[in-house]
Chains A and B, each alone.
Chain A
């Protein structure tokens, strides 16, 4: 027989964990419930938003604002009250969901929207030896993949393409694309209304190596840097006066940039713009339109941008106070309007194409389009694979790719011919995980190493680190044990070229040996650090500059994934370059929260 058919008994006796109750999660839950699964647990950190309702069909308008996991459970019970279904409104990376939690399940189904959580569940399932079905969609495309320890590759076997980040001086001094202006506008929002973050400075960057002139290294630099530390106070002193703010950011700062003459030798110099010029700029005759197409789809004229700049500041300034700052949210109208206006004003100054509010929202909010049909197809395949996994037929579960139909291909769903074996050098699932890390041991602090390299770069949650050979604990997950090391440079405590660090994440049951390599950034675009899993890649990687931008600190991760800027590179999308099957990095379905920048 070609396919053993799964029995009601096998299904009824299986315990399933669904991670994520978004677009794919809703479809998976429905398929499980209708297929006879009786014991399901669902976890999701998110709450329901109106923009989910076009596909997350277990939710309705009256559920907006409520936790997805809880409402999804109620909807399923409403269909069939006899199912045991447990809901957690929580993060799967929390310490509460350790190895014993994962070991309860016969199978785990991922329906996630960000890489960090996927990496974490991957490690938990490897450690617990529970089969995991990983899935994702992005627009018309999607993917389903089985991960089973010792049988298939794991989620982290192949390095994922880095997410796009931008050097600080491009954002602050020399923008050349709309996205640079949008990032700058979001930074400006945070400077004025958000939590202060020195990495999100918006004033001219006087340290720009390109701006330096032979012989007078720091000529006119001080003014900018002094201003930088006191932006917020100055803004409060002038009581958020819109025209003064406008002139500072769009006239004086630009005039200052023009003095950094080296920057403009090969570029078109920006044109300073005063409040008066902008407000009376031609083209203001456009009446306020009520319909969406006009409001959102049309590019606002400059005078409208100026008007919106002033009016949104008036609204937003009343929401901030001494102890309360704002977090930028693409769905908050004044916040989104502010960014649209500022990005376009700056684009105008630098002769960059201006964009509609609709387009800017996509980029600023990092929105991945999502549709019900792709989620339904992928969720169907997830549960079909789950049947085979429960029958232990792992080899019958090769990865499947959903692709947009093209005239050149007959395939809509394309399955691999066989399962893909693990990468023997994988720094997660190989027997003795090992990785090379390139850092500047003279300038990076222990704390930076922990947060940037171990947590963001290598996705650990709470690492304990011992310096091999000396048996010295340099980082501890126990509070208070190693804080004394935090501000020391790596070299100061003996972490230098050739050092081996034994990094242990108890929650993930994951031990990784990290070989330290000394590395100094040369170009301004160079990353802060590099992670190289396969030593054979060392040579190739080094020559390809920017291939590993994980460490670039310029576009740092904000508090939530939500608004982070991440541009999906075209190459991620399997629909392009139709003939070749390309692996897509499933981003999600769930646009909204997507995207952890791996930096």
Chain B
């Protein structure tokens, strides 16, 4: 078991972030055990950022093999790794990012893991998984006090969905204390006030409601001013659930049709008037192709920062969905199911 307090080496290495989030946050990070499910283009970005932050351990669970395309988009992979297990291939470069973090790899399929496997982590980060598995993991997480965040990138569109349970956090608010000093000059001492907050995250089965499931979408559809990218997110998740893959350029024509059908079902479920949506008609053009690398950089940065917030219980986290707009490049929170 590691020492609770930071060593001088760690203090030097993490100096620039300790100055931002404080030493208590850093100590919580160094005690955190993170599970990353699937380490593809987005997963490699998340892994990089959380390894750099100085967690205790990272377990990489991925049963995939390296493809030519994957090799080109994942900086943790080397040339010549095509055909080998991804989890094995990323290990050397991942470890080099931060030798202080314990990294384990697991090449079994995530779906083969029983519930007890997921209970041993501080937080689980999932990418590229199907919704039923995600909901199953969420159920385990909720019973074992493990936080969960899921995210994906399709083309230039990306998002994340979090379940941080009943999340207590604090943030520092800086106040200029204009206290008068005895000699009449203002002392512009800054004082930092700790402000506490709590967010009660809904369980994911009340957040990710797809057509043909037993869950009622009633609580969700009432909301006005919905960020309509939420429906695009659901459509892409449903596409993968049904087709066991992402939309692909090779089968673009057929995939577009499938996506439009799914979208129509989702609009029906959520009682969205297609004519009134502001989504561009060709929005699905943007989701084809592999994960676009700079979008993974953006979304991977957002998800890793949420992991850091969840672990350190510092700063306001996203509640509960993050949507990256592939047209404007806005990145917004959308509260669903609360």
Contact = CB atoms under 8 A, between A and B. Distances in A.
Q: Which of A297, A367, A413, A591 has the most CB of B within 10 A?
A: A413
B15 A51 contact: yes
A371 B6 contact: no
A324 interface: no
B333 A51 contact: no
B97 interface: yes
A405 interface: yes
Among A31, A176, A373, max chain B CB count under 10 A is at A373
A50 B189 CA distance: 31
Interface in A46-103: 50-51, 53-55, 57, 60-61, 79-81
A54 B17 CA distance: 8
A405 B52 contact: no
A415 B53 CA distance: 27
A213 interface: no
Contacts of B75: 30, 33-34, 79
B185 interface: yes
Interface stretch (B55-63, B115-123, B313-321): B313-321
A176 B318 contact: no
B90 interface: no
A293 B5 contact: yes
Interface in B1-55: 5-8, 10-17, 19-20, 23, 41, 45, 48-49, 52-54
Interface residues of B, number: 80
Interface string B293-310: 111111111101100100
B280 to A, nearest CB: 4
Given A79-B75, A373-B301, A576-B174, A51 B294 contact: no
B335 to A, nearest CB: 8
A178 B187 CA distance: 10
A178 B189 CA distance: 8
A2 B283 contact: yes
Nearest to A31: B294
Interface string A338-374: 0000000000000001000010001000010111111
A54 B187 CA distance: 35
Contacts of B48: 57, 372, 376
A266 B180 CA distance: 12
A116 B68 CA distance: 43
B176 interface: yes
A394 to B, nearest CB: 15
Contacts, number: 210
Given A369-B17, A412-B322, A3 B286 contact: yes
B276 to A, nearest CB: 18
A292 B308 contact: no
B185 to A, nearest CB: 5
Contacts of B97: 57
B20 A369 contact: yes
Interface stretch (B208-216, B231-239, B260-268, B323-331): B323-331
Contacts of B286: 2-3, 5
B174 to A, nearest CB: 7
A321 interface: no
A1 interface: yes
Contacts of B99: 61
Nearest to B300: A376
Interface string B182-212: 1111111100000001000000000000000
Interface string A509-540: 00000000000000000000000000000000
A72 to B, nearest CB: 13
Which interface residue of B13, B45, B305, B326 has the most chain A CB atoms within 10 A?
B305
A419 interface: no
A432 interface: no
A407 interface: yes
A417 to B, nearest CB: 8
Interface string A33-44: 111100000000
Contact of A54 (B54, B301, B305, B333): B54
Given A80-B79, A292-B7, A412-B332, A34 B72 contact: yes
Contact of A413 (B280, B317, B324): B324
A512 to B, nearest CB: 35
A291 interface: yes
A171 B164 CA distance: 49
A415 B326 CA distance: 12
B298 A380 contact: yes
Contacts of A5: 285-286, 289
B73 interface: yes
A406 interface: yes
B315 A54 contact: no
Given A34-B72, A79-B75, A373-B308, A266 B329 contact: no
Interface string A155-182: 0000000000000000000101110000
16 contacts: A3-B285, A31-B294, A34-B75, A50-B12, A176-B186, A268-B182, A292-B10, A293-B23, A369-B19, A369-B20, A372-B49, A372-B52, A374-B301, A376-B301, A410-B332, A412-B322
Given A34-B41, A415-B325, 20 more contacts: A30-B75, A33-B75, A54-B54, A268-B182, A291-B6, A292-B10, A292-B11, A297-B23, A367-B19, A372-B49, A373-B53, A373-B302, A384-B294, A404-B315, A405-B333, A410-B333, A411-B332, A412-B332, A413-B329, A413-B332
Interface of A: 1-3, 5, 27, 30-31, 33-36, 50-51, 53-55, 57, 60-61, 79-81, 139-140, 174, 176-178, 264, 266-268, 291-293, 296-297, 353, 358, 362, 367, 369-377, 379-384, 387, 400, 404-407, 410-415, 570, 576, 591
